[in-house]
Amino acid sequence: MKKPIVAIIGRPNVGKSTLFNRILGKRVAIVEDIPGVTRDRNYAVTTYCGREFILVDTGGLEPETSDYILSQMRTQAEIAVDEADIIIFLMDGIQGLTPADAEIVGLLRKVSKPVFYSVNKIDSKKGIANLSDFYTIGVEKLYPISAEHGTDVDELLDAVHPLLPETQEEEEDVYPKIAIVGRPNAGKSTLINRLIGKERLVTSPTPGTTRDSIDTVVSYYKNQYIFIDTAGIRRQSKIEKGVEYYSVIRALSSIDRCDIAILILDAMEGIAVQDLKIARYIEDSGKGCIIALNKWDLVEKDEKTMDKYEKNIRSNYPHLSHLPCIFISALTGIRASKIYPEIHSVMEEYSRQITTGELNRFIGEISARLPSSTYRGKVLKIYYAVQTGRRPPKFTLFVNYPLGIGTNIKRFIENSMRDKWGFKGVPIRFAVRSK
C-alpha cells in the first residue's frame, strides 16, 4: 500500500529539521542508520497513532532570490510540494510574519492538497507576542508549536492523522511485483524495454523522462511478473544539479507496492548517497532486492573486474552484502536475461518457510555462541523460536530477558540464518517476547 508523503516546507532556519526530528522521535519503530547517510537524510518512514507515512524535510523556500544555494533549496522544496500528499508550512514566530511567508501562503492557496499552517518557536516571549500577526494571512487554522520542546506538536499531528490511511496487511498477489528503482538516467525504462522485448516505455538520455509509475505484465518461461517502472523527477525544468536529491522520493510508492526491487546502479559512477537511501528504504519496507550494475558495456574491464566491483560493494557496504549483484547493459542486452532467474530465486527466498522443528534445532546449535549472552549479570536464554510470517521472513524469539536481545545478537542470528538457509536478497525480521 502506498504510504502518504507529508512534506515540511518553509523559509530557511524556521525549524523544519527540528520539527522533522521531533516527529521522528514519536515513531514506534527505530530504524538503524547507515554511516554516511544520516548527515543529509531528508526523509524517513514514521508512524503516528498506528498510521504510517513518509516524512520529508526540505531546504528553505525563498520565493524570490538570486542566491544560488537558496535557489537550489527553493527548487528542492518545490519538488517536495509537487510530490507530497500533505504539506506542513512552518513559519518562524520569533521573526514574525515576513513578506516571503505571505507570498508562500499565496502560492499554497493554489495547491489542491491539504496544507497545515504552523508557527514555530512560540515558547519565547517574542514568539508569543508575534503570533497575532500570523492570523492576518487569513487561513482557517493556525498551529502554534515549539518544535524544540515539543509543545503542541501533538495537536498538529492529530490534525494530520485523519488524512493518513490506516495501515493494512498487504495481500499476496498472484504475480510477483517487481519495481525498477534507481537514480535518474540509470537506465530503468531502458531495462524494462529490454526485458519485455518492446518499446513499451518512453526512454530518453535526459534524466526525468518518466513521469508516472507504469505497470507492465511480462511472461517469461511460463512465469508471469508485473514490472513497475518508477517515475523520475516530474518537471524537466527542475532537472539540475542538486535536485536529484529528491529523486529518491519518486521511488518510494513503487517500492511500497512491490515484492522485489531491482536497484539500478550506474557502473560508471558507482554507489551514490541516493542509492544508499533507496537501498535502506527497500530494507525498511521489507522487500526483496537485487542490485543491477548497468552500463557494464562502458566499463574498461578484464576477467577480474566484475569480482573487484562486487568485493568493493560487499566490503564498503556490508548492509548490502546479502544482495545478489548482476552486471548488465540494458542498452545492449548483455546479461539482462539473467535477471529473470535471479528474480525467481529471490522470490523463493522471500516466501521461504522454515519448520518449527528445524528452526529450534538451529537455535539450539547457535545458543552457546551468542555474543553478549548476559543481561544485567544474568545469562540470556533463547527458549525457542517460531516463524510468524513470510514475504519477508519474520521470526519471533521467546527469551528470558527480551531487553537483553540487542542489535548485536539479532545481527548474529540473522547472519547465522543466512549461512544456513540463504535468504539471499531478502530482509529478515525479528520480534522478541518473554516466555
Alpha helices in 224-304 (DSSP H): 247-257, 273-284
Check for a shared fold between 5-163 and 177-350: yes
Give the angle 165-425-372 at the CA atoms, nearest 5°: 90
So what's the pLDDT on residue 30?
28
Q: How far is CA 95 from each of CA 123, 135, 141, 189, 397, rounded to the nearest angstrom? A: 13, 15, 20, 47, 52
pTM summary value: 0.65
Tens of pLDDT, residue by residue, the chain (435 residues): 667 889 898 888 888 888 988 898 843 222 333 332 222 336 777 888 888 888 888 766 666 666 555 565 566 566 667 778 999 999 999 999 988 888 888 888 888 899 999 999 988 777 788 888 898 988 889 999 999 899 999 999 999 999 998 766 555 557 888 998 887 778 887 888 888 775 544 445 544 444 444 567 777 887 888 887 654 433 333 434 334 444 556 567 778 889 999 999 998 888 888 788 888 889 988 999 999 999 999 988 888 888 888 888 888 888 888 999 999 998 898 898 899 999 999 999 999 999 999 999 999 999 888 887 788 888 888 999 999 999 999 999 999 999 888 888 999 999 999 999 999 999 999 999 997
Q: Are 326 and 187 in contact (CB under 8 A)?
A: no
CA separation for the pair 221, 232 (Å, rounded): 30
CATH architecture of the domain formed by 356-434: 2-Layer Sandwich (3.30)
Contact 275, 263 (CB under 8 A): yes
Q: What is the structure's pLDDT at 72?
A: 58
CA distance 325 to 345: 13
**233 and 247 Cβ atoms separated by less than 8 Å:** yes
Q: 507570498: which residue's cell?
A: 103
Which pLDDT belongs to residue 58? 75
Q: What does the alpha-carbon distance between residue 431 and residue 414 come to, in Å, rounded to a whole number?
A: 12
Domain extents in the chain: 5-163, 177-350, 356-434
Q: Tell me how many degrees the CA angle 184-190-191 measures, rounded to the nearest 5.
A: 100
Three cell numbers written together for 134 = 500570523
Torsion angle in degrees (nearest 10) through CA of 120, 122, 125, 130: 70
Using CA atoms, how far apart are residues 229 and 213, in angstroms rounded to an integer? 5
Query: CATH number of 177-350: 3.40.50.1860, 3.40.50.2300, 2.160.20.60, 3.40.50.300?
Result: 3.40.50.300
pLDDT in tens, 48-84: 888 888 888 876 666 666 655 556 556 656 666 777 8
The pair phi, psi for residue 75, each rounded to 5°, is -60, -45
**C-alpha to C-alpha distances, 414 to 318, 355, 417, nearest whole angstrom:** 13, 17, 5
Are the C-beta atoms of residues 175 and 225 closer than 8 Å to each other? yes
Identify the CATH number of the domain defined by range 5-163.
3.40.50.300
Over the stretch 71-128, which tens digit does the pLDDT of each residue have?
Answer: 655 665 666 677 789 999 999 999 999 888 888 888 888 888 999 999 999 887 777 8
Amino acid at 221: Y
